[in-house]
Structure 1
Amino acid sequence: MKKKITVFGSFVVDLMGRTPHLPQKGETVIGSMFQMGPGGKGFNQGVAAHKAGSDITMITKVGKDAFADVALNIMKELKMNSDYVFSAEDVQTGVALIMVDENTSQNEIVVIPGACNNIKDEEIDKAEEVIKNSEYLLTQLETNMSAIESIVDIAHKNGVKVILNTAPIQPITDDLLSKVDMVTPNEVEAEILTGIKIETEEDMRNTAKYFFDRGVKQVVITLGHRGVYIADGAIDELIPAYKVKALDTTGAGDAFNGGLIAALAEGKSLKEAAKFANGLAALSVQKLGTTMSMPWREDIDAFLKAQNK
């Protein structure tokens, strides 16, 4: 039986342009295409988990503007519950300005969180029951920290497993980490948080120890083309990435996190979940955009089956 998941986090509208190269300081570059669509780390991860077959409730916040309809329309299209998409009277829906190098698929992103950086305690209180009744809470750092702390506190007090994706990087207190079951930084975020540059497997172990010492039970570090490192005190392993030709790497980390929690909620082991998440992310980078690049479950299963032949 699939276990319930709450995904708490940001929604922003992605405004994405592709260019022959990313501009240098003061340079104007003529782009080749523009695309607008739903995004935000929280929303991307929620959609990834939903399309992978999970029973998820999404908690986020938008403004009262045309960009809010982007979120509500896609949720209706995907048959997602929008009961906990809160609305701000005086703050606009967030946006992300994304530039993608069409030759390397690397990107530069500026996020203006807008409404989802203004989530209030009373809105968290309205979602308390759905949080309590979940097996997992997945959150990130793209909303106001006060809301993150409140929702993690509710989950922790009620025995809900908390997964914290440490993006975009912000300072995190040891108190918050003590209530987190799993952290999922990428290598840059891990270095900023711990002071350890990850070059060797020993560096990975030392990074994991930093989090273990603060009460975190499982550590998952995404390492780009090198794969993903997992550790839980018993397991200590580097799982290779699947080799695919990337078209757009924007949202790859979100795809991974959505896939990871979807697999864990099905009862997969940490290693199995990491492989599943790697497959989901590998499919996502072969399409343009973030939310809309997240694959459906049948495509994930077919991809993984083909890799295992």
Structure 2
Amino acid sequence: MMRALCAGHVNWDVTLRVDRLPAPDGEVTIEQQHQAGGGSAANVAVNLAALNHDASLFGSVGDDESGMLAGRELARAGVETHLVEADGDTAVKYLVVDGDGEVMVLSNRGANEAYDAADLAVDVADFDLLHLTNQPPAVAARLASRGRDADVPVSFSPGRTLADRDFAETLALADTVFVNQREATVLVNEDGLDVLREGATLVVTRGSDGAEVRVDGRTYSHPGFDVEPLDTTGAGDAFASGFLAARADGADHDRAIVVANACGAIASCEVGARAELTWERIDAFIADHDAA
């Protein structure tokens, strides 16, 4: 069993499903409203706990009801939390999901970055993996350095802010980097792949076209699964969780990418950022789609 420490955003998500996004000055009807915890680091921690690994979470929330609800939900999921409670509001994301499952995100600043590496009171050396997500680049770099110094593998999912934040130092320290196709383009154009640590694993998700893994001069790919997405929120986090969990359980890259794609597909077929992931469900999903 892997002991994983995830660090990054802890949010409260309000998901609004609509048939289509309105035109300027237009109006559409909300078909479904859903509230639950979110934030990439929190999502991965919950998913890893569901896949039978010990998951801890480092981040911050506000001193409001949303922070209390987010913490309570994490505790119910079996995640050990190391959360800084800051004055003010917890970050709330309003996610508008259209009929194709595509997501538009509206957010307040909130307290999801009200922490520093020095606020982490636990010893990184006590963990088998340090997983970093979007956060201030200096904080991410300090946490990654602590992982490197403790000889703990570091994985990193910079997310959509890769285009706006300089994560070069963290990228150079990470053993595994997760990006989608748009983020991969930013990485190549801005820093180039030379910024990655020698021997690092680069995992690129391609939406409905699956994903590929590049490591040690080899490429492993899988075309993905044919599903009709309901809400793609959290699909990338589910993908990363499945990949990390499978690798921790001894899977090779070919198996890990299949598991990861299955997790992402399952997540995209549910409303909200966190799918109900279990190994039984993942194996059944893969078997059903292989037989189709």
TM-score w.r.t. the length of structure 1 is 0.87
Q: After the TM superposition, which of the residue ranges 169-178 and 234-243 deviates more from structure 2?
A: 169-178
Check conservation: 2:64, 2:88, Cα contact below 8 A: no
**Separation of aligned partners in 1, 2:9 and 2:276:** 17
Task: Report the residue type matching 1:157 in the other structure.
Answer: D
Task: Give deviations 1:100-144, integer Å, cap 9, x for gaps.
Answer: 11x2111101233522212124313x13x1x21222111111x22
Residue identity opposite 2:186 in structure 1 = I
Give yes or no for the alignment of 1:194 onto 2:188: yes
Conserved 8 A contact 1:119-1:144: no
Unaligned ranges ≥5, structure 2: none
What residue number does 1:176 align with? Answer: 170
Cα deviation digits, residues 12-39 of structure 1 (max 9, x gap):
1111111121133443333222111111
Task: State the partner residue of 2:17.
Answer: 18
1:72-113 superposed Cα distances (whole Å, 9 cap, x missing partner): 22123222223x12211x232111111011x21111012335
Hey, what's the Cα distance between the residues in 1 that align with 2:92 and 2:216? 39
Q: Deviations over 1:233-287 (max 9, x none)?
A: 2421321101122211111111101111111221222222111111111111111
Aligned pair partner of 1:162 in 141, 151, 154: 154
- In the alignment, is residue 111 of structure 1 matched against residue 107 of structure 2? yes
Provide the residue aligned with 1:202 in structure 2.
Answer: none
The aligned runs of 1:80-91 (5 Å cut-off) are 80-82=79-81, 84-88=82-86, 90-91=87-88
Q: Is the 8 A contact 2:137 2:167 kept in 1?
A: no
Deviation for aligned residue 1:175: 2.7
Match of 2:278 in 1: 296
CA drift of 1:176 comes to: 2.3
Instruction: Detail structure 1 runs of 4+ shifted over 4 Å in the superposition.
Output: none
Q: 1:135 aligns with which of 93, 103, 128?
A: 128
2:128 alignment partner AA = E
- Matched to 1:57, the amino acid is S
Q: CA 1:267–1:106 in 2, change beyond 3 Å: closer, same or farther?
A: same
Q: Which residue of 1 aligns with 2:225?
A: 242
Aligned-partner residue type, residue 7 of structure 2: F
What is the root-mean-square deviation in Å for CA atoms of aligned residues? 2.0
**In 2, Cα distance between equivalents of 1:159 and 1:113:** 34
Distance 1:31-1:56 versus aligned 2 partners, 3 A rule: same
Q: Does 1:144 align with 2:142?
A: no
* Residue 4 of structure 1, CA deviation: 1.6
Q: 1:194 to 1:153 in 2, by over 3 A?
A: same
How many positions carry a matched residue from both structures?
Answer: 288
User: Does the Cα contact within 8 Å between 2:47 and 2:238 map onto a contact in 1?
Assistant: yes
Separation in 1 of the partners of 2:139 and 2:107?
18
- Equivalent in 79, 88, 93 of residue 90 of structure 2: 93
The offset of 1:183, in angstroms, is 1.0
Compared CA separation, residues 12 and 173, structure 1 to 2 (3 A)? closer
Residue equivalent to 2:235: 252
Aligned: 1:306 with 2:288: yes
Q: Which amino acid aligns with 1:111?
A: S
Greater alpha carbon shift after TM alignment, 104-113 vs 44-53: 104-113
Conservation of the 8 A alpha-carbon contact between 1:67 and 1:93: yes
How far the C-alpha of 1:185 sits from its partner, in A, is: 0.5
Query: 2:232 aligns to what SS in structure 1?
Result: coil
The whole-number CA distance in structure 1 between the counterparts of 2:117 and 2:73 is 26
The corresponding residue for 2:26 is 27
Give the percent of matched residue pairs that are identical in Structure 1 and Structure 2: 22
For the structure 1 residues 91 and 151, does the alpha-carbon distance in structure 2 shift closer, same or farther, using more than 3 Å as the test?
Answer: farther
For normalisation by structure 2, the TM-score amounts to 0.91
